[in-house]
Structure 1
Amino acid sequence: MSKEIMQLQVTSLGHRGDGIAETADGPVFVPGALPGETVSAQVAGGRANHIRIEQPSPERIEPICRHFDACGGCSVQQLAPGAYLDWKRKLVEKALSDRGIDAAVEAVVPGAAGTRRRAVLTAVRAGRHVLLGYHEKASHRLVDIRECPVLVPEIVAALAGLKRLAEPLMPKKGELRVTVLSTTAGLDVTFDQANRNYEQKIAQLSQLAVELDLARLSVNGETLLEVRPPALDMDGTAVVPPPGGFTQATLAAETALCALVMEGLGMPKKVADLFAGSGTFALRVAKSASVHAVEGDAAAIKALENALRIPKGLKQVTMERRDLFRRPLMAEELNAFDAVVFDPPRAGAQAQAEQLALSAVPHIAAVSCNPATLARDLRILIDGGYELQTVTPVDQFVFSPHIEVVANLSRK
């Protein structure tokens, strides 16, 4: 392993936010470097370390967070906004191109700092102290954050209090997972992988939750205290998601995604919402069409069912709990619908896409947080006779390599 200092010319930005320098021995990944920069660094195993920027890019800007150099929560704060959004759009273009899909990708719908309402943090014990934050870049060590510019101010203000809550819950070994959601009623906090003896401390935990004015506190899947229902306003319908359950990370992105989906569905009378979660799309669509919401998670379906108990002038919404990875809706079932929207986890929806490709559904809106698996599923649909109408990235996860995408298709 060479300790020799090399000079590298960075030519591109990789899909994880590292600069890439091409050398005679192959590509070298240069964390923190930008295209057009000259750096000196030690290189081992195709990765640079002890990096010094010799000639900075004109697109380089000052990161906005004191933790940026170490924290692995963000990877690209040092890139100017225009170049940053262009990089994210190119991530989607490359994913499509890798699957042989030649499609125009729309400009990225930008996100903003200070708007992320959902955070997944980690707590660990370090001696007598508890650290709370994100893992360091390419490390198992934890950055004890004092600020996080991507999060809504309500979560940032609660960081010290969350440490106090974490203290009696810390497992003897390993890490404690902390999910925080900012709702209309306050913070909804969920701890997972907590010490099993937490039941002996319920009174203490409940008192702390009241002092911190939390809406709800849950531990290892059990709700310990609910002072107020932690509801999200989904276009006029109050939905209380399950503890630690999936929600769109920012309200602005949720609004943008829903607008793009509605545009792609046309004017349907009957819609299937697959991987429906707690009803992010179903509740919007139900204002003008009947909806069949299909979701594998029982708690998410229950949350949607509870939200619909109070009449809100919506069209009919039916619900089905079904594992769409193992039992996708078949083509014959899908043919009963005028349009379909699907928003699967990062693994994508290959089995479901294969059935959609065999169906006669006129319009499909595909939503994904993983351009690679989305491109795979779109390839299946295109090969099955669908035409890709629009592809629009939405920057829900600012300063990270993650990008949300909505692709709208119509049958030829």
Structure 2
Amino acid sequence: MSEPIVRIAARGDGVTDSGRYAALAAPGDMLLADGTVEPGPNHQQPPCRHFPECGGCQLQHVADDAYRDYLKDRVAGALTQHGLATEIRDPHLSPPNSRRRATLRALRAGKSLVIGFNAERSNRIVDMRECHILRPELFELIDPLRHLLATLLPLRRTGEVHLTLADQGVDVALKGVEAEGYEAAEALTAFGDANGLARLSLDEGHGPEVRYEPEPATITLSGMAVALPIGAFLQATGDGEAALVEGVREACGGASRIADLFGGLGTFAFALGGEIVAAEAARDAVLALQSAARRAGRPITADHRDLYRRPYDVKELAGFDAVVLDPPRAGAEEQVKQLAASAVPRIAYVSCNPATFARDAAILAAGDYKLDWVRPVGQFRWSTHIELAASFSR
């Protein structure tokens, strides 16, 4: 019996009303009795030769309108599981070739070296020959990195390549490689010069060590140049960051005293007005944020604090007009419990996990907060990974 695909499941498979699953199916496709898929109006030709083998993308076969619906459905479904509903705004989609950070893997086998993302649900590396999600500045380094790593990566050992687009160029952090001796040091410097890198660092098992950095690497956040620590968290795309900032500004509603919890390098702190306390567990991020704020004369206080072990309690939250939350994928359950018992008028919540967001939203709702709206943000183009910005008010 043939059935139409009606939605996309969390992991990217198409699903029929009866609960049959089909890989690489889009809403409007027909799942035939023999298990094959007949493409429908929302099924597009994937642009990349590596799809679906490469794990960097799961949904290149889905047209943009259906992809937007998928993002909205994921958020709505997570909220429904906790008995919540609200306005879910039209998602923001980052365009192709806009990812400004990525982690790739590399392996040397004999004279050949492969570099790229892992295959879907596998440790096998798909050798990257084209990519439709990375910024051109990142992709242009793939072939030069092949040549460099062929001399530095031990035989049959897997290395990691972390790429981040900084203000001065690409920041390259290598892990699992060996660069001993004068010739290796010279090769790294020459590589940095030849490719106009912002910075090149190596982690040989004892933490990252800078080998090339003509000038201090920075990242500009809302017009503020902030020192960029190696491996620091950064929103995946510039336009996605802008969409999240816009949502946070709206949710804060012009508040004059704001707590920015899980503040990172200041993505939201520097975008907001008023007096701000930014709490963050990563010491290097705290120092970078505080230094930039002092240079600019901004009333931002950085608090080095692990919010999982020591969340702001009700007494500490008193006096804040708004709170911004941007936790990791695990969410912010302990901090949210304190917020639910507080009198803070407005909360802006940025999340990269609809499931933990919905759990935390239910705690806030039980504390008499209203979930005003949610806007999904698809920074990880053609993937099942979803970011969002949300507004809560008393």
TM-score computed with the length of structure 2 as normaliser: 0.93
User: Partners in 2 of 1:100 and 1:171 — Cα distance?
Assistant: 53
On the 8 A contact 1:99/1:375 being kept in 2, the answer is yes
| Matching residue's letter, 2:291 | N
Where do residues 301-320 of structure 1 align in structure 2 (5 Å cutoff)?
A: 301-310=286-295, 312-314=296-298, 316-320=299-303
> Per the alignment, in what secondary structure is the counterpart of residue 318 of structure 1?
strand
Where do residues 100-119 of structure 1 align in structure 2 (5 Å cutoff)?
A: 100-119=83-102
Where do residues 297-376 of structure 1 align in structure 2 (5 Å cutoff)?
A: 297-310=282-295, 312-314=296-298, 316-376=299-359
Q: Does residue 146 in structure 1 map to residue 106 in structure 2?
A: no
Query: How many aligned residue pairs are there?
Result: 388
Q: Does residue 380 in structure 1 map to residue 363 in structure 2?
A: yes
User: Partners in 2 of 1:237 and 1:361 — Cα distance?
Assistant: 28
In the TM superposition, what is the alpha-carbon distance from 1:16 to its structure 2 partner?
A: 1.6
> Per the alignment, in what secondary structure is the counterpart of residue 180 of structure 1?
strand
Where do residues 200-239 of structure 1 align in structure 2 (5 Å cutoff)?
A: 200=181, 201-220=184-203, 221-239=208-226
What is the aligned counterpart of 1:135 among 118, 126, 131? 118
Question: Which residue in the other structure is 1:16 paired with?
Answer: 11
User: Partners in 2 of 1:225 and 1:108 — Cα distance?
Assistant: 39
On the 8 A contact 1:71/1:134 being kept in 2, the answer is yes
User: Partners in 2 of 1:385 and 1:143 — Cα distance?
Assistant: 49
What is the aligned counterpart of 1:241 among 228, 237, 251? 228
> Per the alignment, in what secondary structure is the counterpart of residue 135 of structure 1?
coil
What is the aligned counterpart of 2:276 among 286, 291, 311? 291
Q: Does residue 268 in structure 1 map to residue 255 in structure 2?
A: yes
- Aligned CA distance change for structure 1 residues 97 and 111 (closer, same or farther; 3 Å): same
What is the aligned counterpart of 2:179 among 198, 214, 226? 198
Question: Which residue in the other structure is 2:140 paired with?
Answer: 157
- Aligned CA distance change for structure 1 residues 39 and 267 (closer, same or farther; 3 Å): closer
In the TM superposition, what is the alpha-carbon distance from 1:17 to its structure 2 partner?
A: 1.1
In the TM superposition, what is the alpha-carbon distance from 1:107 to its structure 2 partner?
A: 0.9
| Matching residue's letter, 1:33 | A
- Aligned CA distance change for structure 1 residues 28 and 163 (closer, same or farther; 3 Å): farther
On the 8 A contact 1:389/1:408 being kept in 2, the answer is yes
In the TM superposition, what is the alpha-carbon distance from 1:9 to its structure 2 partner?
A: 5.8
User: Partners in 2 of 1:291 and 1:64 — Cα distance?
Assistant: 44
User: Partners in 2 of 1:386 and 1:199 — Cα distance?
Assistant: 57
| Matching residue's letter, 2:282 | D
User: Partners in 2 of 1:171 and 1:92 — Cα distance?
Assistant: 44
Question: Which residue in the other structure is 2:240 paired with?
Answer: 253
In the TM superposition, what is the alpha-carbon distance from 1:293 to its structure 2 partner?
A: 0.8
User: Partners in 2 of 1:78 and 1:105 — Cα distance?
Assistant: 24
Identity over aligned pairs, percent: 40
> Per the alignment, in what secondary structure is the counterpart of residue 92 of structure 2?
coil
In the TM superposition, what is the alpha-carbon distance from 1:100 to its structure 2 partner?
A: 1.0
For residues 344-363 of structure 1, give each alpha carbon's deviation from its aligned partner in whole angstroms, at most 9, with x where no partner exists.
Answer: 11111111101111111111
For residues 59-105 of structure 1, give each alpha carbon's deviation from its aligned partner in whole angstroms, at most 9, with x where no partner exists.
Answer: 11111111112111101111111111111111111011111112121
For residues 259-289 of structure 1, give each alpha carbon's deviation from its aligned partner in whole angstroms, at most 9, with x where no partner exists.
Answer: 110111112221111001111001111xx21
User: Partners in 2 of 1:236 and 1:336 — Cα distance?
Assistant: 28
User: Partners in 1 of 2:174 and 2:268 — Cα distance?
Assistant: 27
For residues 373-407 of structure 1, give each alpha carbon's deviation from its aligned partner in whole angstroms, at most 9, with x where no partner exists.
Answer: 00111111110111111111111111001111111
| Matching residue's letter, 2:385 | H
TM-score computed with the length of structure 1 as normaliser: 0.89
RMSD over equivalenced CA pairs, Å: 2.0
User: Partners in 2 of 1:8 and 1:152 — Cα distance?
Assistant: 39
User: Partners in 2 of 1:352 and 1:112 — Cα distance?
Assistant: 34
In the TM superposition, what is the alpha-carbon distance from 1:240 to its structure 2 partner?
A: 2.4
User: Partners in 2 of 1:228 and 1:64 — Cα distance?
Assistant: 37
- Aligned CA distance change for structure 1 residues 22 and 90 (closer, same or farther; 3 Å): closer
User: Partners in 1 of 2:121 and 2:106 — Cα distance?
Assistant: 17
User: Partners in 2 of 1:298 and 1:84 — Cα distance?
Assistant: 38
What is the aligned counterpart of 2:74 among 91, 97, 106? 91
Unaligned runs of 5+ in 2: none
User: Partners in 2 of 1:263 and 1:36 — Cα distance?
Assistant: 36
On the 8 A contact 2:109/2:155 being kept in 1, the answer is no
- Aligned CA distance change for structure 1 residues 371 and 207 (closer, same or farther; 3 Å): same
Q: Does residue 281 in structure 1 map to residue 268 in structure 2?
A: yes
> Per the alignment, in what secondary structure is the counterpart of residue 88 of structure 2?
coil
User: Partners in 2 of 1:223 and 1:307 — Cα distance?
Assistant: 21
> Per the alignment, in what secondary structure is the counterpart of residue 263 of structure 2?
coil
- Aligned CA distance change for structure 1 residues 189 and 106 (closer, same or farther; 3 Å): same
In the TM superposition, what is the alpha-carbon distance from 1:19 to its structure 2 partner?
A: 1.6
| Matching residue's letter, 2:65 | G
On the 8 A contact 1:187/1:230 being kept in 2, the answer is no
Unaligned runs of 5+ in 1: 1-5, 43-50
| Matching residue's letter, 1:129 | S
